Amino acid sequence: MKVIKRLVYDTPLSGGLLLLVFIILWEVLPRYGIVYARYFPPFSTVIGALFEGIRSTEILRQAAISISRAFRGYFLAILIGVTLGTLTGTIRWLSDLLEVTVELLRPMPSVALVPIAILLFGTSDSYNISIITFGCTWPIFVNTYEGTKSIDTQWIDTARVYGASRLDLLRKVVIPAALPYIVSGLRISLGTSIIIVTVTEMLASYKGLGFFIMETYNAYQIPQMYAGIITIGIVGYGLNRLFLAGEDRFMAWHKGWTAKFI
């Protein structure tokens, strides 16, 4: 009795069981026609399509295209976002100047700019990358800005007392201190890049996972469509996990430091 109580309270066993139930329902309901099987193929069929897609490398190729586009946009966003963020964070008149413009552009859904990008770039990779860059710059920019602004002036004073130059200050005090915020922005933008690349591909691309989903949808290849959707989820999840692992490794000092305040 006590063992059961412990299992329920301390382990995700019940959740795992629930998951199993859902998967079983997914398999059984379409097979028995309770749910329309054309729109909701059985779990095994979908998994079959997924493996087939991997075996024939189709899904892998499309995924590679999407990831490549996402990363290019992401890195461009990092470049712009960190630079702009550090500059506005340290130079007061600059942040004043840009404030209203930023506030107008930042909440703008990147998707709304898709038509402009189509006009300019057609359906090339640049179309995708431009929108990704726009969408991913903001979280990085805002976080970098917050990070540079929130630096404890005592740290700066300490460094200056020991004779640090302006560049030194930037490299050795400002950026490490702002790093936690920046990293947080980087993490958010990573997820955003995957979402935006999917959207842009769904709307006007001829390659990539987003395109793959729409193509299979239009061709009524529904199991393949689900397989593609699951692949996107896996890609997003995998990238996020990789990022967190990297964060653990490099940002360990921050975790320890913030933990002291809790």
Contacts with another protein, residue ranges (CB under 8 A):
8-16, 18-19, 22, 39, 93, 96-101, 103-116, 118-120, 194-195, 198-199, 202-203, 210, 213-214, 217, 222, 225-226, 229, 232-234, 236-237, 240
DSSP conformational letter for 169 = I
Residue type, 94: L
Q: How many other C-beta atoms lie within 10 A of the C-beta of residue 228? A: 29
36, exposed or middle or buried, with CB in 10 Å at 0-12, 13-18, 19+?
exposed
- Shortest distance, position 134 Cβ to another protein, whole Å: 12
- Scan for tokens 């779990």, then name that residue: 43
**How far apart, in Å, are the Cα atoms of 260 and each of 55, 174, 254?**
49, 22, 10
16 vs 246, beta carbon nearer another protein: 16
101 vs 154, beta carbon nearer another protein: 101
Structure tokens at 28: 């059984």
Q: 232 φ, ψ to 5°?
A: -60, -45
- Shortest distance, position 78 Cβ to another protein, whole Å: 20
- Shortest distance, position 34 Cβ to another protein, whole Å: 14
234 vs 245, beta carbon nearer another protein: 234
Q: How many other C-beta atoms lie within 10 A of the C-beta of residue 244? A: 11
- Shortest distance, position 112 Cβ to another protein, whole Å: 4
- Shortest distance, position 143 Cβ to another protein, whole Å: 14
171 vs 255, beta carbon nearer another protein: 255
User: What value, to the nearest 5°, has the Cα angle with vertex 81 and ends 166 and 191?
Assistant: 140
Query: What's the CA gap between 24 and 10, in Å, rounded?
Result: 25
Residue type, 109: P
8 vs 28, beta carbon nearer another protein: 8
26 vs 164, beta carbon nearer another protein: 26
- Shortest distance, position 56 Cβ to another protein, whole Å: 21
